[in-house]
Amino acid sequence: MTSPSRGSSSLGTFACLLVTSAAAALAVACGSNNSSSGFAGVDGGDDSGSVSGGGGDSSVGGGGGDSGIGLLGDGAGSVPETSAPAPVPVVYAHSPDTLYRLDPNNNQIAVVGPFGGGCSDVIDLAIDSASNAYVTTSTDLWSLDLTTAACTHIASGSYPNSLSFVPKGTVDPNAEALVGYVDATYVHINTTTGVVQNVGTLSGSYTSSGDIVSVIGGGTFLTVKGGPNNCGDCLLQVNPTTGDLIQDYGSVNHVDVFGLAFWAGTAYGFDNGGDVFSIGWNNGALVTSNITVPNPPPNLEFWGAGSTTAAPPMSADGGGLPIQ
């Protein structure tokens, strides 16, 4: 990989973290005493950590079947079609050993918990439209419980440090597919066997810096280094079927952006230096805005991020990153 080595971290003892926007910065007190914690809230068994409901095929709300209309018993009419509930506004990020969640409505971050189940030095995260989450280390593929940060081992192998699901009908005609980049090589990862297959190549002398994120009905985005302007890092829109370049939005004004997530037209970057920032679009140009992290722990590093493919592709007013 061309990106810097992702070394070990001391974040397993991280007691609290609260992120607010610059317009609403709050004081934070960090410590082992829960009563004085500055946490926005550590997840603890409620269902707020779920991105969407249970497991229909690529359905946001889940619920046991793809039929939204059913005949009444006497044939006199039909049950009105009901739309799936909107996904919960949340994106996830992680250090090598700890899972976090960010509320894009208020830029508040909470600790979900340290990774359990045997996974450590986690290099990326991907979430499908039904809240199924997966993480990779350099040597293993794991499924992940987003409410507890517990990992379940799937397979051993060599896995990329950029990871996302892409919509059904792109890499796989029948289901969402788990994909990633190894430098400029676009790969597909079988979530049952862990087998990695090459799909395509990113052109333009770009290489993956650290993460990819994709949205149903929206775009697929990648942080990169290189290219004709030798950027580090830039944001690209890429083709989710081939992995090739569609457009270069320009610099995100951060380096080693190992985590990328998305919500409602805005991307969220998480870099190896512990910075968090939003990535938007204004007056025909990419705009990045830092999200303040009060009292971060020493050596804070973000190694990956992820968000549901069912995230809204645009903001409420129809704006957001322009896609082709």
- Provide the β-strand partners of residue 214: 220
What pLDDT digit, counting tens, does each position of 218-272 carry? 999 999 999 998 998 999 999 999 999 999 999 999 999 999 999 999 999 999 9
Locate the domains of the chain by residue range. Answer: 17-52+86-306
Q: How far is CA 120 from CA 83, 99, 153, 281, in A?
A: 39, 11, 12, 35
pTM, whole model, 2 decimals?
0.76
Q: How far is CA 223 from CA 145, 163, 184, 228, 233, in A?
A: 26, 11, 11, 15, 6
Amino acid 137: pLDDT? 96
Residue with tokens 């707020």: 48
Task: Encode the chain (324 residues) as per-residue pLDDT tens digits.
Answer: 334 445 444 333 333 333 333 333 333 333 333 332 333 444 443 443 333 333 333 333 333 333 333 322 333 344 445 556 778 899 999 999 999 999 999 999 888 999 999 999 999 999 999 989 999 999 999 999 999 999 999 999 999 989 999 999 999 999 999 999 999 999 999 999 999 999 999 999 999 998 999 999 999 999 999 999 899 899 999 999 999 999 999 999 999 999 999 999 999 999 999 999 999 999 999 999 998 776 677 888 999 999 999 999 999 999 999 999
Topology of the domain comprising 17-52+86-306:
Neuraminidase (2.120.10)
Q: Which helix (H) or strand (E) holds 112?
A: strand 108-114
The β-bridge relationship of strands 91-94 and 98-103 is antiparallel
Which among 211, 213, 214, 181 has a CA at the least distance from the CA of 198? 181
Could you give the angle at the alpha carbon of 249 between the alpha carbons of 244 and 253, nearest 5°? Answer: 120
Amino acid 294: pLDDT? 61
Amino acid 53: pLDDT? 34
Q: Is 27 helix (H, G, I), strand (E, B) or coil?
A: coil
